Structure formats: C-alpha cells, structure tokens
Amino acid sequence: MKPVLALVGRPNVGKSTLFNRLTKTRDAIVADFAGLTRDRHYGNGRQGKHEYIVIDTGGFEPDAESGIYKEMAKQTRQAVAEADVVIFVVDARGGLSAQDYDIAKYLRRLGKPCILTANKAEGMTEGHQLIEFYELGLGAVYPISAAHGQGIRDLVDLALAPLNLADPDEEAEAEDIGVTKLAVAGRPNVGKSTLINTWLGEERLVAFDMPGTTRDAISVPFERNGHKFELIDTAGLRRKGKVFEAIEKFSVVKTLQAIETCHVVLLLIDATQGVTDQDAHIAGYILESGRSVVLAINKWDAVDAYQRQLVMRSIETRLAFLKFASMHFISAIKRQGLGPLWTSILQAHQAAMCKMSTPVLTRLLLEATAFQSPQRAGMFRPKLRYAHQGGMNPPIIIIHGNSLEHVTEAYKRFLEGRFRKAFNLTGTPLRIQMKSAANPYSDKDD
C-alpha cells in the first residue's frame, strides 16, 4: 500500500505550500469528503518509482479545549494516527514559538517516525541559524523552501527511507494473478458490515484472518464457486466471537489505499439517502485510479416506489461518469440480489485484465472511421491509422495517425463505445490515447 505522510505544524508555516509541492500541483485535493473539516486534505505524490499519500492539516494546537481550534486539533490527531511518517513543519524565519514546543511534546510522546523540517529557509546557508530548533528534541533539522522547491526531493527520500519500501515492480510480480482483489467502499452505515458478514457466513466460503500491512487493515482471502478473492475492507475488520464485523469508522486513507491496491471496487450506496457528496467523491477517485467498479444500491427493500425514483435520478445526475459500471439493487440483511453481484464483480475484473490484439483493434478502428469520420479541423482531417493496447487495469488503447490532436472528445467517446461493445468491457474505465506521427519536414527550412 502507499505510504502516508502527514504535514503537521502551527498555522502559517507553509504546510499547504509544501503539500502542493509534494503533490506537484496547485490543486491536488483528491478527497474532500463532506463531514470532515476542510482543514484536512489528501493528495497523491510520486518520486521515482514510489508513490505516496500526503495529508495536509490545519494549524495544530494540541491543548485546544474549545471552538474551531479543538476541531482542528482533532483532525490533526486523526491525520497523525493514519500516517506512517509525520513531517513537522516549523518556520525558519519566524523562529520557535510556545506552540512548537507543545506540538513537539505531543509527537515525542507518540513515538512515531517524525522529521523536523524548517520551511522558508531559502538563503540560510549558515547552520547556526537553525540551532534553536534542536531544543524541540526531535533530532536533526532539515531546511527546505517549499515556495522555491529547495530540498524537497531530499525530504521525500528521508521520509520514505525508514519504511523500507519494496520495489513496485517486484511487488507486482509477487502478486497472485489468480486472486481477484475486491475492495468494499462506501460511507459509514451503508451496510458494509452486514454485507461482509453475509458473505463470510456463506457455506461455500472459506475465510481466515490475515493482518494487513497498515494499522487496523485486514484482508480476508476466501473462495466462492472455485474463484479466489481477497476482500479488502476499507473500514477495517475486527473479530467478535466467530463472526467478523466491520468497524464503522470512516478513514479516508484506508479507502484510498484499498482502491489503489485492488482490482475491483464495490461501491455501496444507501438507498434511503441516495447519492451523497461522499459517494460522489469516492466514485471520482475510483475513476481517477482506473479501477473497475460495480455499483450496489443497498437497503433497496426499505424504500418505496417514489424514493426509488429519487435514488435513480440522483445516480443518473451525480454518477453519470460511471455509466460503464453494472448496477445492482440489493438487500444485504435479507440476502437479496447478491448472486448477480458476484457475476458482475468477475465480469468487471475480466474486463480490466482484457487482452486486445493489435489486428483486431486496428480493424475495429478502421471500421469505426469508415462508419463515421472524425470532424475536419481547418484544412486537415485527423487520420487514424492503427491501434494497439498500451496497458491493462485499466485497459489503455493507443491510436496512431496524423493530426490526432484535432480529434474531439465526442469522437473519442464514439470510439470508446465501439471498443467497449466489441470486447464487452463492462465495469472498467477505458482510456484512449492519441499519438500523432512526427512531421518529417517540421525542422527543415522553407
């Protein structure tokens, strides 16, 4: 799973600037869930082969007892609990403050890996200018400038070093290709625990504990009708007697990590509440990650005809970008509709791992252009010559030709529909990339 780095510090030390620098964007929020404060944000970063999740927090006052500062402190503590490494940011120019001492005391007590980072240190070449920060008792002080990008790469290397991360290529080779990894995602109280307990209680199911690599995360291998699965629960699982029960504790980090590591995501939606902002954010992240998805509308037996119409309308408007996904109406507590659900999960996994030959793709491409040519752009009409597969999970189709930068999004959707129908790509995103041939005369003089 991706390691998690949490940025902690008092207000106005440059945490958000560092967040944007680590995620290499000015707008890197990937999960801004309703119900959580807007002062805790999540973003993806990458350095070399290694990817990571960054949590940006608000100003931290560990001893705050009331008001907004208490809520901000609560959010920061949650971020620290979720993190593998804490980056404590101080102001190199503003110097130490009483609040820095309080934060350092809190972090020392936790004993979690912590890196003390002095931001706004551009131009500070003399080491004695940072000596006062050693009073915090957190070891060496690492100067950076988030605004200017100085020391950022070394900071990331330093943060990832104690985690002993495996080579992503080696991890991919070590995976059991015969196992379908299924993540169950959704808001608290949508019925994840009921659904999981129903699955694990089936007679044809073989299950046992296997502690995951992150805190409170447990994956459950099981087998159904000869198919091997690995269930990744986004809420975490705990043992209660002989029955597994999901802890209804919403953790953004665990949801993001589960989505990243799985093959298929089962997005569970509560029929009594319709599609909420949290549902839409999770669905958006699934699409961004390129994972296959199956929609399950739970508690369908608890709503009347009018409410069902409202639910369908909310799905059509708020989840229109998941039209490729299969949708099922289920009742986990009454075990209704669960059989077809498994069929769609297997179908989505097969679609994500589909192999498409170059001759077949090229033939489909030429048939599509013969049926409907791309729109002319000025004096030129895009010429689509051949296509080949560029990847799986999600499937990627690369189309080669001339003037392909003029191909419209509408025409790409038309091609996507043809490819989906031919290869039965239900449940998985499909990405189409255009590569124009280089103009051999572009560098020659007239």
Beta strands in 129-178 (DSSP E): 141-143
| Region of 267 on the Ramachandran plot (φ > 0 left; ψ -120 to 50 alpha; else beta) | beta
Answer yes or no: are the C-beta atoms of 345 and 294 closer than 8 Å. Answer: yes
Q: Which CATH number goes with the domain that contains 404?
A: 3.30.300.20
Q: What is the DSSP letter of 165?
A: P
- Domain-embedded: residue 406: yes
* Residue that is written with structure tokens 């600037």 in the block: 17
User: CA 445 → CA 70, 294, 379, 402, 439, distances in Å?
Assistant: 68, 55, 22, 21, 13
Question: Same domain, yes or no, for 223 and 302?
Answer: yes
- Domain of residue 113: give its range: 4-163
Angstrom distance (rounded) from CA 100 to CA 275: 42
**What is the predicted pLDDT for the residue at 432?**
92
Q: Which two tokens stand for residue 76?
A: 């920061």
CA 417 to chain centre: 26
Question: Same domain, yes or no, for 66 and 110?
Answer: yes
| Region of 378 on the Ramachandran plot (φ > 0 left; ψ -120 to 50 alpha; else beta) | left
**What is the predicted pLDDT for the residue at 81?**
82
Question: Same domain, yes or no, for 278 and 396?
Answer: no
Q: Which CATH number goes with the domain that contains 46?
A: 3.40.50.300
Which positions ≥6 away from 226 have C-beta within 8 Å? none
pLDDT in tens, 69-118: 566 677 778 778 888 899 999 988 888 888 889 889 988 888 888 999 99
Which positions ≥6 away from 316 have C-beta within 8 Å? none
- Domain-embedded: residue 441: no
pLDDT per position in the chain (446 positions), as tens? 678 898 998 888 888 888 888 887 654 433 344 333 344 677 778 888 788 888 888 777 666 555 555 666 777 787 788 888 999 999 888 888 888 898 899 888 888 889 999 998 887 766 667 888 889 998 889 999 988 888 899 999 998 887 776 565 555 444 545 788 888 888 777 887 778 778 877 533 344 444 333 334 456 777 888 888 887 766 543 333 433 333 333 456 777 777 887 889 999 999 998 898 888 888 888 888 889 999 999 999 999 999 999 999 999 999 999 999 999 999 988 888 888 999 999 999 999 999 999 999 999 999 999 999 888 877 778 899 999 999 888 999 999 998 888 889 999 999 999 999 999 999 999 999 998 876 555 555 44
Give the side-chain half-sphere CA count within 13 A for 399: 27
The SS3 assignment for 346 reads: helix
**What is the predicted pLDDT for the residue at 396?**
94
Question: Same domain, yes or no, for 194 and 313?
Answer: yes
**What is the predicted pLDDT for the residue at 121?**
86
- Domain-embedded: residue 304: yes
Question: Same domain, yes or no, for 300 and 369?
Answer: no
Angstrom distance (rounded) from CA 14 to CA 42: 16
Length of the chain: 446
Question: Same domain, yes or no, for 26 and 151?
Answer: yes
Encode 234-265 in three state secondary structure: CCCEEEECCEEEECCCCCHHHHHHHHHHCCEE
Q: Which two tokens stand for residue 391?
A: 């990847």
Which positions ≥6 away from 340 have C-beta within 8 Å? 328
Main-chain dihedrals φ then ψ at residue 270, nearest 5 degrees: -85, 115
Question: Same domain, yes or no, for 399 and 343?
Answer: no
- Domain-embedded: residue 444: no
Question: Same domain, yes or no, for 315 and 228?
Answer: yes
Angstrom distance (rounded) from CA 96 to CA 9: 12
Question: Same domain, yes or no, for 155 and 184?
Answer: no
**What is the predicted pLDDT for the residue at 205?**
36
- Domain-embedded: residue 338: yes
Question: Same domain, yes or no, for 149 and 77?
Answer: yes
Give the side-chain half-sphere CA count within 13 A for 105: 9
**What is the predicted pLDDT for the residue at 231?**
79
- Domain-embedded: residue 169: no
Question: Same domain, yes or no, for 217 and 292?
Answer: yes
Q: Which of 163, 187, 214 is the last residue of a domain?
A: 163
pLDDT in tens, 222-262: 788 888 888 776 654 333 343 333 333 345 677 777 788 78
- Domain-embedded: residue 170: no
CA 336 to chain centre: 30
Q: Which of 317, 352, 387 is the last residue of a domain?
A: 352
Question: Same domain, yes or no, for 324 and 271?
Answer: yes
Q: What is the DSSP letter of 406?
A: G
**What is the predicted pLDDT for the residue at 64?**
57
- Domain-embedded: residue 120: yes
Q: Which of 337, 352, 367 is the last residue of a domain?
A: 352
The SS3 assignment for 376 reads: coil
The number of distinct structural domains making up the chain is 3
